């Protein structure tokens, strides 16, 4: 392993791997039910095969349990010299997955870069390789974190182009936040509770109150461990419930049927694009709703997730819009709609 400036590098012959830590600066302090932060640590990677470079990213918000150090440690375990072609996709990603438990963001970075290479070799955007129609992409929501009335009004004004807003709830300020937003706009809202509610009866009361105020679904209303309570709420709620913290990887999906109405898929939780697509397909087979979400990420990981967006009911792909120091040009949001670039792979360019 070599280190040049801020980049680490490994040479496997036809494959080469480069990676570096980077810190995303948020435009506003981001507050959810359990924590606040103003930055997000990421690791940016470049995977090269015969001169073709694929870009990837690992984003590590606090609750994932990963760090820049753990991601770099994981990437140091990789030896791609045993593979001769990026088209050995299943074998490569299976090898990556078995290197260590968890480390899902680190694994996602490699998965994204590998898909970027494959798309560039085939000279097609990945959504076209998958046969997906971009006309079907739902509008993306824009996230309003927990804050004061004044800042909430400011954030809503900044989100004027978006057709739907995502509101962080889960504290004793929930009704204040919704009422403040409703003084400004009647646009549809989705409520992300981040496991903040504890009592199923109070959760159901809030579900009815929110439904009357044009909230279209509840994301992770109660702690994931309260399986029976979440199932009871889903059965009685006037609006859908979506599993987020309760839904990490493909193996989790079957058990979530009847506990939640749908699932939120995030590349950083599920190891990347390949498993994300499988999760969407399994959820559909179980007659569940599907949402594609994100962490605070650059346009690299956001553009990768967006390749899957024609498959879903709801999109929450605003992560790159929440930061002030993106290093890529990729998916655009115009009047609240996700516009996929007509470029091969995941469709990004380095700035």
Phi, psi (rounded to 5 degrees) for 171:
-120, -175
Cβ neighbours around 336 below 10 Å, total: 19
- Which long-range contacts does 47-52 make (Cβ < 8 Å, 24+ apart)? 47/15, 47/16, 47/17, 47/18, 47/110, 47/113, 47/114, 47/116, 47/117, 48/15, 48/16, 48/17, 48/18, 49/14, 49/15, 49/16, 49/86, 49/117, 50/14, 52/117, 52/120, 52/121
Last residue of a domain, one of 123, 147, 174: 123
Q: Is residue 56 located within the same domain as residue 148?
A: no
pTM of the model: 0.95
Residues of the domain holding 334:
128-350
Judge whether 231 and 243 are in contact, CB under 8 Å.
Answer: no
Residue in 266, 241, 268, 229 with CA at minimum distance from that of residue 56: 268
Per-residue pLDDT of the chain (351 residues; tens, 9 = 90+): 666 568 999 999 999 999 999 999 998 877 765 667 789 999 999 999 999 999 999 999 777 889 999 999 999 999 999 999 999 999 999 999 999 999 999 999 999 999 999 999 999 999 999 999 999 999 999 999 888 999 999 999 999 999 999 999 999 999 999 999 999 999 999 999 999 999 999 999 999 999 999 999 999 999 999 999 999 999 999 999 999 999 999 999 999 999 999 999 999 999 999 999 999 999 999 999 999 999 999 999 999 999 999 999 999 999 999 999 999 999 999 999 999 999 999 999 999
Q: Which tens digit of pLDDT belongs to each residue from 13-67?
A: 999 999 999 999 998 877 765 667 789 999 999 999 999 999 999 999 777 889 9
Q: Is 57 exposed, middle or buried (0-12, 13-18, 19+ CB in 10 A)?
A: buried
Asked whether the beta carbons of 248 and 65 are under 8 A apart, the reply is no
The dihedral formed by the CA atoms of 323, 326, 329 and 332, expressed in degrees to the nearest 10? 0
What CATH number is attached to the domain comprising 110? 3.30.390.10
Give the end of a domain, one of 93, 123, 153. 123
Quick one: 47 and 176 in the same domain? no
**Residues 233 and 152 both lie in one domain:** yes
Q: Are residues 142 and 98 in the same domain?
A: no
Q: So what's the pLDDT on residue 104?
A: 97
Shortest CA distance to 139 belongs to which of 328, 350, 290, 309? Answer: 309
- Residue 49's CB: how many other CB atoms inside 10 A? 24
**Distances 351 to 80, 282, 297, 325 between C-alpha atoms, Å:** 28, 37, 15, 10
The CATH number linked to 199 is: 3.20.20.120
Question: pLDDT tens digits for 56-81?
Answer: 999 997 778 899 999 999 999 999 99
Same structural domain, 157 and 77: no
Polymer length of the chain: 351
φ and ψ of 302, to 5 deg = -65, -45
- Tally of structural domains, the chain: 2
Same domain, 309 and 211: yes
Let me know whether 225 and 345 are in one domain.
yes
Residue 27 has a pLDDT of: 86
Q: What does each C-alpha distance from 249 to 70, 117, 255 come to in angstroms?
A: 20, 24, 11
Are residues 90 and 195 located together in one domain of the fold?
Answer: no
Q: Which of 106, 123, 140 is the last residue of a domain?
A: 123
What count of Cα atoms within 13 Å lies in the side-chain half-sphere of residue 289? 21
Question: Which residues lie below 8 Å from residue 349, measured CB to CB, with a gap of 6+?
Answer: 328, 329, 330, 343
Is residue 172 located within the same domain as residue 252?
yes
Shared domain check, 105 and 133: no
Angle between helix 227-236 and helix 200-211 axes, rounded to 10 deg? 30
Both 78 and 166 in one domain: the answer is no
Residues 240 and 174 placed together within one structural domain of the fold: yes
């Amino acid at each position: 392993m070599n280190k040049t400036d801020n980049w680490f590098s490994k040479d496997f012959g036809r494959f080469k791997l480069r990676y570096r830590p980077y810190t995303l600066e948020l435009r506003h302090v981001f507050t959810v039910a359990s924590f606040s932060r103003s930055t997000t640590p990421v690791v940016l990677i470049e995977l090269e095969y015969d001169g073709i470079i694929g870009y990837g990213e690992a984003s590590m918000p606090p609750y994932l349990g990963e760090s820049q150090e753990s991601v770099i440690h994981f990437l140091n375990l990789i030896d791609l010299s045993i593979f001769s072609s990026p088209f050995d996709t299943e074998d490569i990603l299976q090898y990556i997955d078995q290197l260590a438990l968890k480390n899902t963001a680190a694994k996602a970075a490699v998965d994204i870069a590998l898909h970027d290479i494959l798309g560039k070799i085939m000279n097609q955007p990945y959504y076209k390789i998958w046969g997906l129609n971009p006309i079907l992409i739902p509008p993306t929501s824009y996230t309003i974190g927990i804050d004061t009335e004044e800042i909430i009004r400011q954030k809503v004004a900044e989100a004027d182009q978006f057709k739907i807003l995502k509101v962080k709830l889960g504290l004793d300020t929930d009704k204040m936040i919704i009422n403040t937003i409703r003084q400004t706009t009647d646009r549809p809202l989705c409520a992300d509770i981040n496991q903040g509610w504890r009592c199923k009866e109070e959760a159901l009361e809030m579900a009815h109150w929110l439904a009357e105020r044009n909230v279209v679904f509840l994301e992770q209303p109660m702690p994931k461990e309260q399986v029976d309570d979440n199932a009871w709420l889903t059965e009685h709620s006037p609006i859908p419930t979506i599993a987020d913290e309760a839904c990490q990887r493909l193996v989790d999906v079957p058990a979530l049927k009847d506990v939640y109405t749908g699932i939120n898929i995030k590349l950083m939780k599920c190891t990347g694009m390949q498993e994300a697509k499988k999760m969407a397909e399994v959820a559909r087979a179980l007659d569940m709703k599907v949402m594609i979400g994100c962490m605070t990420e650059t346009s690299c990981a956001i553009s990768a997730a967006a390749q899957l967006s024609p498959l879903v009911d709801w999109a929450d792909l605003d992560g790159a819009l929440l930061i002030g120091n993106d290093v890529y040009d990729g998916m655009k949001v115009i009047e609240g709609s996700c516009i996929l670039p007509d470029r091969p792979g995941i469709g990004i360019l380095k700035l």
